[in-house]
Structure 1
Amino acid sequence: MGLFGSSKEESTISKKIRPTVIRTENVAKELVELATKNNINTSSLDFTILEVQTYKRTCKAEQAKEEVEWEEIYKDEIYKLDDVTSILNPEFQIKQVYEIEIFSKDSDNDMFRDFHAAVGANATKCKVFLSIKEGSKVNSSPEFEEDFLNYINKSKVRAGILINIFDEMLDEVVSKISALAKVDESLNYEKNENILISEAYEPMQTIDDDLILHFEHKKEAGENDRVDHSSRGFIKSVLKDDILIEYIKAKKGKAGRNCRGEFMEPREPEITQEPTFTVDETIKMVDKPDNIQYIAKENGYISLDGTVYTIKSEMDVESIDFKTTGSITSGLDSDVTLSVKENDAQKDAIGNGMSVEVSEIDINGNVGPNAKVHARRATVQGQTHGSSEIRADDLTINVHKGLAIGDKIKITRLEHGTAIGKEIEVEQAMGGDIRAKDIKIGLCTSHVEATASRLIEISKLQGSENIFTIDPLLQKEKRSGLNENQVEISELQISIRDITKEVDKYKKLIKDNTVAYNDVKKKLIHYKKNGIKMPAAFINKYKQFQKMQEHLESIKEEKNVKDSKLSLLSTQTATFQDNILDARIINRDRWVGHNELVFKLVDPPIELRFNPLEGSDSEVFALVENSDGQYEIRAIIE
């Protein structure tokens, strides 16, 4: 059965047909029908274009197509068709009739048998390309240019693409490729290549109207970003000049005609999204030819009151939690002021895990566990949970147990929380960690760690086991600055040491060779004076000595520059040290219990510790330098 099947396949492939001449508008259809009739593969057929006839007619809508005669356009008049007025006339029609001779393909004598290319087009068939596959090759011949043009035209006709129309670039394409083939005697394509061979009139797509609510668009979570499921978009924050809403006006597209000669009429646009809302004076409307833009005139959040969009800056909410509002993020620069009304001591005004970011916020009640609040100004009239975090430039908290970060912080009662800022005032400190430039504590009980870079002042002390520290490098930028300073100083010291060695080396070389140099110099002057040719060896020695002198001056100058820079950096390091000498720890009350004062030196990096005597009245402590040049913590007069 297998042998019989193979024999039948071979006979099908090898079967020849008699050359057949056909007139047709559809070459591909004729090839398929002839192949089917003779029980052979279409790929085994080839054809020659004997004649091309181009016809046109203008058929008005009220006329029956069969009543309108086709008018032939002769080859030398085809260029007249390339006229937008007629080509884009929907009543205009064009077609081609081809007289071809079909015959069995002779692969052995086919010069393009190893040239693998196909005619392809974009979706509208308005641009047609010759796609040549990687590895294609063809040898040159005396009539290569004509053969190659025929090859392309046959491919176009087979694909239903008109020839001699919309293909003004084809002659140049064929000419360039033929020139390459003649120079190299063959063509070899090492990669795929697409060449434009026809271009008609691309239609412009119809645009339906659309309404885009830009203010509702959120940043898409990236591949590595975590999706915040707590965010409800409760507040749609906006900034001045933001485009809030955009109405895209409907627009009918423009007609086109493709490389098959088909007219492409655009559809009528659909209008379904026309605005049914209005805006107030906080939003401006800009009417443009293609769209209408609604633009914010101020910062805040957008609100729809009935059918009117407006921008507001203040909002009252009962509470912020996962079920109702979700997290609220309007941005620090949004000018949104949020007031959270919940003040029940048994409930959280800011719920578990919620995040809030607004310009200003007033919280009447408590901030729950794992909650985060970020604002320019914030007040918390209740208490903060130990795992909460509040950040604000200007921050006021009643009872604080969590983390507070800001510039200016006021806390009524600190209960083992952490406060980090520039200026911090605490009325009652009942354990906790305070870090700032200046710290003022009204009543200090026990287990408080206060670290400042300039001042710690206590009005009343009622406890012990407190640690008060002065650290001039408390702020990260200062610590980073000192580290960079010290690294640069170390590098300069090494560089100066190496340059000093080189300076000493060249000074010795010049000193040891000065006598010989002067002797050579005298001889060269004598030779020049008497017109005697100067020996090359003398000239080279003279130039070498001069280069040594020039190099010495150069490295001496480099050493001076680096010495000056080292001096400046050393002064800067000393400035860090000077800061600690101006710092003070002040206790306006008597010292009770065990408390420790710590001053951290910069250079050398050591800590000095001191325990004030219980019951002593010493108020102001500072770091001073004694007669032996050593530093010590000492009570001073304010």
Structure 2
Amino acid sequence: MLQQTKLIKDIENIPELLDNISLKINTPSQNLEIAIVSYKTFVKSKDSTTFQSLKNNLINDTLFENKENIFKQTYDIVIHKVSNEDNKFSLEIKDNAQSLDIVFLKGFIPPKNISEFEALVTKINSFKLKNKILLKELDKEKNALLEYIKTMKSPIEESNNFTLSSAKNFIDSKDSKLIFSIKEVDIAKKNIICVKENELICKFYLASNGKSGRNLRGEYIIPKEKTSNPPSFGENIKEIQEDLLNKYIAKKSGFIIFENNNFSFCNELSLQNIEIKDNYNFVGDLDSDTKLTIVAKNELEDAIKNGVTIRANKVNVNGNIATNTSIYARELNIKGQTHKQSTIIADNANINVHKGNLVSSFAKINSLDGGNIISDDLEILKANGGEIESNNINILELYSNTNIRFANKLIIDTLKGGGNKITFTPLANKSNKKRIEQLLKDLDTQILKEKELSLKLNTLIYKYNKYQQTAKNLKNQIDENNKNDKQIPSYILKNYNIFLQIVESIKINKKEILKISKDKNYITNTIKDYQKTIFDAEFLCKDGWLKYNDIIFELVIPKLSQTTTIIKGIGRYYFNVEEKKIIHQKIFKNNEKKIKNQGF
């Protein structure tokens, strides 16, 4: 298999040669690197039929910028096969070959010696030939690159660009460009952008006409003239004009609607039966002064149809929402029902019939019908199936097959069914759950490190025990030689130093394992601190009771999951730390004051 070709002489079309070799040896052309042995530069006028060779490849500016001249180069090269490794840098040809930049990526390690620097230069020149960039002023370019690399840290902490070469006179014309502050804006859609007062909406870069000249490929370019088409806008949007740049800023908080290169403004929108073909794109800041109302034409149609995503500070939906819909809001009111494959994220949510997925700070649900809810505080009038997780939960009527997880307080006014699972768990507190889950990941990382270090330590101890006697003998020989003022043989010193390195490695490993043990204890104790509020949690059932409903008490550390089948009737349930079990405290129905005081 080819690792390096023989010298290939007088090649003009490098890309064509690489394609042929790539096909022949079944290797992608990006895995072929070109090493330049020598090259020749030729020039001719447009009227001439023959090229003339330039002595020492010197191209003066007058000759190069004369548009009547045509240039070409031929190369003597060797092609190497290289691995597809991540070099942590890339090369970019910009603006119709007006300039060539090298992009050093974060983590790039600068060359440590001349050999590594020359290897970098080879890769750069290989890229040039693959992209038909003329070789010109290579020594000047190398020196500038070397000086720049000397200023780098190793490895570099942030990505940065270095311009390797640029055209002398040629400047390419630039089209106008509209850049939105919010990346999710899609100019192919009808964008409804939620903005706050004085928020930068976008920047419009005006078109600029270029300047004729020769680019890095040696092509003489006469740039085309460009025109600008800035967006139109109304009185609630402010335009700030700078040099070749217009900025557009919202004067008020609200909806900015962008369509067909036009901005319009409003605070409230009312839409009917939104669907994908309407091509809406809701993006932006939920803390804006925005209100969106969506209504259904009739009871047979969904107000929000399949696959639609909406976003606003306040959202009112007079109807149902369909499958694969997403709603993001601070305040949400849905008078219909949510589909089981819908997703809602809202600070405060009021939903008639919930079958989908909801994450909220506070939610009020008229009827839970198999939906999933994660919340801080939750009120449900009727619950009949589903998964709910909240710090505090109040359910007026609980029917069957609902999985309830709570961290502080659960109140059920009337229990009317079976197959319900009620779990005391610290993980039902959203903020604590996030912290605990991160701590558990950290703990797993420490445990894995400890296992790796313990294996390494066992290997070192095995070597220590195996070579301990030999090391003693070597030490005795060293002491004897020192006593008699004799030179110690190098192999004795070498072998004894190897043993000393084992001893030192054992000390280091033990120290690292001890640190990990302390870190594990700290993480464990922190998790226990976060979960200890669960011991103050309580569940209160005010009325009704059927068998076959389970209560579970769950801890993260130590892992504990104690189950008690509820058969004792109405009352208060809590976990007794001393007895390590769930306690039922009987409360009679006529003791209304005591029952009400258990609420939140």
1:284 aligned onto 2:262: no
- Please give the alpha-carbon distance, in whole angstroms, between the structure 2 residues aligned to 1:606 and 1:216: 49
1:495 alignment partner AA: L
- Please give the alpha-carbon distance, in whole angstroms, between the structure 2 residues aligned to 1:397 and 1:187: 74
Task: Indicate the residue corresponding to 2:85 in structure 1.
Answer: none
SS class of match (1:406): strand
What TM-score, normalized by structure 2, do the two folds share?
A: 0.57
SS class of match (1:444): strand
Task: Indicate the residue corresponding to 1:563 in structure 2.
Answer: 514
Which of the numbers 202, 207, 216 marks the counterpart of 1:243?
Answer: 202
Task: Indicate the residue corresponding to 2:35 in structure 1.
Answer: none
- Per-residue deviation at 1:365? 1.4
- Per-residue deviation at 1:409? 2.8
Task: Indicate the residue corresponding to 2:57 in structure 1.
Answer: 173
Q: 1:74-153 to 2 correspondence within 5 Å?
A: none
Contact 1:409 1:421 (8 Å CA) reproduced: no
- Please give the alpha-carbon distance, in whole angstroms, between the structure 2 residues aligned to 1:133 and 1:396: 63
Task: Indicate the residue corresponding to 1:482 in structure 2.
Answer: 440
Q: 1:259-270 to 2 correspondence within 5 Å?
A: none
SS class of match (2:288): coil
- Please give the alpha-carbon distance, in whole angstroms, between the structure 1 residues aligned to 2:506 and 2:405: 45
- Per-residue deviation at 1:602? 3.9
* Range that drifts further, 393-402 or 290-299: 290-299
- Per-residue deviation at 1:407? 3.6
1:633 aligned onto 2:582: yes
Q: Deviations over 1:140-197 (max 9, x none)?
A: xxxxxxxx99x966x8644599x9xxxxx94443899xxxxxxxxx996779888699
- Per-residue deviation at 1:492? 1.4
1:357 aligned onto 2:294: no
- Please give the alpha-carbon distance, in whole angstroms, between the structure 1 residues aligned to 2:365 and 2:75: 87
Which of the numbers 353, 356, 373 marks the counterpart of 1:400?
Answer: 353
Which of the numbers 245, 270, 278 marks the counterpart of 1:317?
Answer: 270
Contact 1:370 1:389 (8 Å CA) reproduced: yes
1:319 alignment partner AA: Q
- Per-residue deviation at 1:363? 0.9
Which of the numbers 415, 423, 435 marks the counterpart of 1:469?
Answer: 423
Task: Indicate the residue corresponding to 1:612 in structure 2.
Answer: 566
Distance 1:219 1:413, change over 3 A: closer
Distance 1:552 1:535, change over 3 A: same
Q: Deviations over 1:371-393 (max 9, x none)?
A: 62332413124022333524224
Task: Indicate the residue corresponding to 1:416 in structure 2.
Answer: 369
Distance 1:174 1:330, change over 3 A: closer
- Please give the alpha-carbon distance, in whole angstroms, between the structure 1 residues aligned to 2:181 and 2:494: 78
1:302 aligned onto 2:256: yes
Contact 1:232 1:328 (8 Å CA) reproduced: yes
1:536 aligned onto 2:536: no
SS class of match (1:556): helix
Q: Deviations over 1:240-260 (max 9, x none)?
A: 3233656648x6x77889xxx
- Please give the alpha-carbon distance, in whole angstroms, between the structure 1 residues aligned to 2:286 and 2:365: 28
- Please give the alpha-carbon distance, in whole angstroms, between the structure 1 residues aligned to 2:15 and 2:302: 70
- Per-residue deviation at 1:406? 2.2
Q: 1:466-615 to 2 correspondence within 5 Å?
A: 466-473=420-427, 475=433, 478-479=436-437, 481-482=439-440, 485-486=443-444, 488-489=446-447, 491-493=449-451, 495-496=453-454, 499=457, 502-503=460-461, 506=464, 523-524=480-481, 526-527=483-484, 533-534=485-486, 536=488, 548=499, 551-570=502-521, 572-573=523-524, 576=527, 579=531, 582=535, 584-590=537-543, 592-594=545-547, 595-602=549-556, 605=559, 607-615=561-569
* Range that drifts further, 432-441 or 474-483: 474-483
- Please give the alpha-carbon distance, in whole angstroms, between the structure 2 residues aligned to 1:338 and 1:158: 72
- Per-residue deviation at 1:413? 1.5
Aligned-residue sequence identity (percent) comes to 13
Q: Deviations over 1:29-54 (max 9, x none)?
A: xxxxxxxxxxxxxxxxxxxxxxxxxx
SS class of match (1:615): coil
Q: Deviations over 1:439-484 (max 9, x none)?
A: 3114132125344362341141332312101344564774564355
SS class of match (2:507): helix
1:438 aligned onto 2:322: no
- Please give the alpha-carbon distance, in whole angstroms, between the structure 2 residues aligned to 1:330 and 1:256: 43
1:339 aligned onto 2:288: no
- Please give the alpha-carbon distance, in whole angstroms, between the structure 2 residues aligned to 1:469 and 1:421: 14
Q: What is the number of residues matched between the two proteins?
A: 449
- Please give the alpha-carbon distance, in whole angstroms, between the structure 2 residues aligned to 1:577 and 1:535: 62
- Per-residue deviation at 1:610? 0.4
RMSD value, Cα: 5.5
Distance 1:586 1:408, change over 3 A: same
Uncovered stretches (5+) of structure 2, i.e. residues with no partner: 1-8, 19-39, 61-73, 80-128, 137-166, 215-219, 587-597
SS class of match (1:330): strand
Distance 1:487 1:383, change over 3 A: same
Larger radius of gyration: 1
2:454 alignment partner AA: I
Q: Deviations over 1:77-134 (max 9, x none)?
A: xxxxxxxxxxxxxxxxxxxxxxxxxxxxxxxxxxxxxx9899xxxxxxxxxxx99997
Task: Indicate the residue corresponding to 1:233 in structure 2.
Answer: 190
- Per-residue deviation at 1:429? 3.2
SS class of match (1:358): strand
2:238 alignment partner AA: I
- Please give the alpha-carbon distance, in whole angstroms, between the structure 2 residues aligned to 1:256 and 1:545: 71
- Per-residue deviation at 1:553? 4.7
Task: Indicate the residue corresponding to 2:70 in structure 1.
Answer: none
Q: Deviations over 1:568-596 (max 9, x none)?
A: 31553465467265263411525611221
Contact 1:411 1:426 (8 Å CA) reproduced: yes
Q: Deviations over 1:347-382 (max 9, x none)?
A: 667322152332313215123221623324131240
- Per-residue deviation at 1:315? 2.1
1:235 alignment partner AA: I
Distance 1:337 1:462, change over 3 A: same
Distance 1:586 1:211, change over 3 A: same
